[in-house]
Amino acid sequence: MTTSSFQIEVPADLLARARGGDAAAFEAIYRCFERPAYTLALRMLGDADAARDTLHDAMLKVFRRIAQFRNEAPFWAWLRQIVSNEALMRLRRHEPPASDLDAEEIVDIAPPPWVVADARTLERALARLPALTRSVLWLYHVEGYTHPQIAAAVGKTTSFSKSQLARGTARLRALLDPPMETEPCLMRTPQTG
Amino acid sequence: MSDAHTTNRLTLGDALRALPTLAPERDGWPALAATLAPRRPTPRHAWPLALAACALLVALSALGWRERMRAPATPAATVAHAAASSVMNGTATTATSNTPTLAQLQQRSRALERWLRQTGGDATPLPGQDLAAATEIENLIGLTDVELAAPRQTHALALWQRRVALLEDLAALRYSNYRLAAGGLAVASTQVD
């Protein structure tokens, strides 16, 4: 169960006006989705300028293709698809190809550190993940994509998506909860007598 | 999958979803609105532009492709059609003894892009079917660019051939549009007269 910030219902008459090329309707839709779209792009790309460009290009595509929107899926899902595709396209241009990793290699059994981490710490750790790994993590956990959907979006296999998720989770855990120094603590033995 | 693993995953999802949504530092709407500014309806003086565009496209095809095409200059739309078919069939245009060099392909690509850019601003809006085709071609060009951006590129020639073929296809669409616009005007003026 996810509650993506994209899940905004757009009134039918607003959509109809946008289809008719009404600039005010375009702006109303843009204002509705500006934050979720920018957030998704920023979380995936990890760069404010690239996220802004992605927002611009994706919204441009949305408005230029809005006449093609068929109401078969919610408008927000259609828009989100365009934003994530645009971000992935940008990612492929700049990100070195990620290697596959067996999802079963990593087993998390320790208590999760993100339960206690504050938002800033989590954001900082997230920013340190490779962009594609972070994207998979975000699409899966926040946007509710399934592994087959992620695989299709990034042009890889389902096991790739799973392995990236496992890798990202483990990496995030390590970043948030670095291993303790193994050096033994020297404790004074209380003197008796 | 263990309960602990599932719990960890769910908890990470909760933590990520709890992160705040973000907005770009600068308002992106003014730039988007400027790009989306309503295209001018086809003016009565569009036919000189259409003629110029056709002439330029024919000239580009004849000059740039001279080494590949031994036969007399072929109409641009036919050249683009052939190129598009080859792309659709998954076989980039492979020449025999007249294979264009990488530099020639890049030069041709630049020329086509320049033409598309120059005519883009004044172009008549494409009809629905053509718009969908143009969007698809633009996406394919984007994908080709992604492949071209990959490090240690070993198929550069084939990829540039594909890029040029796609640009030609796009140009052919625009060319047809101009032709129709010019034809429509001719018909209109005939009816008025």
- For residues A54 and A73, membership in a common domain is answered with yes
What's the rounded Cα separation, in Å, for the pair B25 and A127? 18
Q: Which residue of A has its CA nearest to B30?
A: A27
Final residue of a domain: which of A94, A128, A160? A94
Same domain, A118 and A78: no
How much is the ipTM here? 0.80
Q: Does A78 touch chain B (CB under 8 A)?
A: no
Q: What is the pLDDT of residues B53-79, one digit of tens each?
A: 656 666 666 655 555 545 444 444 444
Question: Which position has the higher pLDDT, A102 or A72?
Answer: A72
Residue B131's Cα: distance from chain center in Å?
11
Q: Is the pLDDT of residue A6 over 60?
A: yes
Would you call B13 and A114 a contact, using CB atoms and an 8 Å cutoff? no
3-class state of residue B44 by DSSP: coil
Query: The domain spanning residue A134 has which CATH number?
Result: 1.10.10.10
Residue A8 banded pLDDT, cuts 50, 70, 90: very high
Decide if B32 and A59 are in contact by the 8 Å CB cutoff: yes
Does pLDDT of A51 surpass 80? yes
User: pLDDT averaged over chain A?
Assistant: 84
pTM of the model: 0.55
SS3 state at B41: coil
In CATH, what number is assigned to the domain containing residue A33?
1.10.1740.10
Q: A73 Cβ partners below 8 Å, 6+ apart? A: none
Residue A132 lies in a domain: yes
pLDDT band with cut points at 50, 70 and 90 for residue A104: very low
Sequence-distant (6+) residues with CB within 8 A of B104 are B64, B67
Whether residue A56 is predicted with pLDDT greater than 70 in this model: the reply is yes
Q: Is A25 inside a domain boundary?
A: yes
On whether residue A189 sits in a domain, the answer given is no
The structural domain count of chain A equals 2
Question: What confidence score (pLDDT) does residue B72 get?
Answer: 45
| A90: in domain | yes
Checking if the pLDDT of B30 tops 60, the result is yes
Give yes or no: residues A114 and A171 share one domain.
yes
Examine the domain organization and report whether A52 and A116 are in the same domain.
Answer: no
Chain A residue numbers touching B138 (CB-CB < 8 A): none
Q: Is the pLDDT of residue A177 over 50?
A: yes
Q: Do A63 and A115 lie in a common domain?
A: no
For residue A4, tell me if it sits in a domain. Answer: no
Distance CA B34, CA B31 (A): 5
Range of the domain at A130: 103-176
Residue A1 lies in a domain: no
pLDDT interval class at B92 (50, 70, 90): very low
CA nearest A84: which of A15, A28, A136, A127?
A: A136
